Amino acid sequence: MARVDEYLTVPAIQGQMDLNLLFFGFEECLPGHTWGPGLRDSYILHYVHSGCGVFRTTEKAYELEAGQGFVIFPEMLVHYSADEADPWTYSWIGFAGLNAKSLLQRAQINAGHPVFTELSENSFGSFYHDLKAAEGERGSDVVGHSILYRILADLIRCSPEPTDEQKPRHSREGYIRKAIEYIESSYSQKMSVLDIARSVGLDRTYLSGLFKEQYGVSLQAFLLEYRMKRAADLLRNPELSVSDVSRSVGYIDPFLFSKMFKKVTGASPRQYRETRL
């Protein structure tokens, strides 16, 4: 069987940190084709169109066939290989972002259970072709991200109903939601983690732990990334100076703001603006 290997990167939506499509691809594997053991630095979902193969983590090996798939988690040591007699053909999509982990958790996919099975009609089988068709069109980055959200929605829909033990604790979700609402309404003001914790009536260490569990980052890191995301959006407005943007996201000192912005995005506010205007 001929081997087709296409790997396409996707320009990031400016300021997008909640969920970001990074790349996608398609491959008809040769018999015994293998990858790893190795690590990835993003989430990568693979969907098997035909054939079969084995996906291995440090804890378990999964024999998968058409209609099934697996998700590689960041820094997860994995190894996967196509069957010798009936090698698999699969598509993949890579993504990152603050909401990636929590959305996968809603689909009952995690590092301990990284596989899924297609249960109904959904977008798994067509996402590569849909993404490929959107290339070069105006708004293709937005279309690509909408397809990624559609895939994750399908994962949630086709996942089995959670047991009572697996159902989320609504009080925890409520505290996180209230904290995010406070951040959304007050990020332009002087605000600390302690202020956020007081607004929802929790100890700041405990609340930060809830954010770490839900989003994979501390409350302090979540607040910083949220502010810098808003700053990135504002920097696209040429009428606003860097100092204007700094004040608008809660930083009185523009030098501290620039330092934090570069820490999150890898570029200074002026460098970021020059590449996007």
What is the full per-residue pLDDT of the chain (277 aa) written as tens digits?
A: 344 545 555 554 444 457 889 999 999 999 999 998 999 989 999 999 999 999 999 989 999 999 999 999 998 999 999 999 999 999 999 998 877 888 898 888 998 999 998 766 567 888 999 999 988 888 888 889 999 999 999 888 887 765 555 555 557 888 888 898 889 888 888 889 999 998 888 889 999 999 998 888 999 999 999 999 999 989 988 888 999 999 999 999 999 999 999 999 999 999 998 887 6
CA distance 114 to 207: 27
Q: Which of 124, 158, 192 is the last residue of a domain?
A: 158
Task: State the CB neighbour count (10 A cutoff) for residue 18.
Answer: 16
Task: State the CB neighbour count (10 A cutoff) for residue 214.
Answer: 18
Same domain as 245, residue 194: yes
pTM: 0.65
Same domain as 139, residue 221: no
Question: Within a domain: residue 106?
Answer: yes
The set of residues, in sequence order, having a beta carbon less than 8 Å from that of 141 and lying 6+ positions away, is 10, 11, 12, 13, 21
CATH of the domain at 205: 1.10.10.60
User: CB of 73 within 8 A of CB of 43?
Assistant: yes
CATH of the domain at 143: 2.60.120.10
